[in-house]
Amino acid sequence: MPYNILVVDDSKFDRIVIKDMLEDLGYNVIGEAKNGKEAVEFYFKYYPDIVIMNLLMPVMNGIEAMRFILENDGMANIIVTSSFSEKEYIKEAIMNGAKDFLAIPIKKEKLKEVLEKI
């Protein structure tokens, strides 16, 4: 059974690219959010199996959203995305419970590898 995945990114283009890759790999994208606030609301309404979330977004960033989700559901599987230039945010996300990290632009092979570990 494929995982249900929530894709969170303030870039519509990046959400579409990630969604297309996930669907090509046989995963079910059950929703998209454009900021951390929407991600939190969606998460606690639908409880996706995995969240793929960008770190830097308006309204509520990915680290804030991730912390809130994990404080209320310690079993959440969150994979963060970011560019390598944001190393301090990546380190903070991993230290705060992110399962893994994907560099933007995301490569399909790496996405598959990370998802298979969860």
In the chain, what are the domain boundaries? 4-117
Q: What is the 3-state secondary structure (H, E, C) of 82-96?
A: ECHHHHHHHHHHHHC
11 pLDDT above the threshold of 90? yes
Nearest to 93 by CA among 118, 61, 50: 61
- Domain topology for 4-117: Rossmann fold (3.40.50)
Taking each helix axis from N to C end, the angle separating 36-46 and 62-72, rounded to the nearest 10 degrees, works out to 30
What average pLDDT does the chain have? 92
pLDDT (average), residues 18-36:
97
The model's pLDDT over 74-99, given as tens digits with 9 standing for 90+, comes to 999 999 998 766 677 778 888 889 99
Stated pTM of the model: 0.92
Residue 89 and residue 63 in contact, taking contact as beta carbons nearer than 8 Å:
yes
Neighbours of 69 (CB within 10 A): 20
pLDDT (average), residues 109-113:
95
1 pLDDT above the threshold of 80? no
What single letter denotes the amino acid at residue 41? E
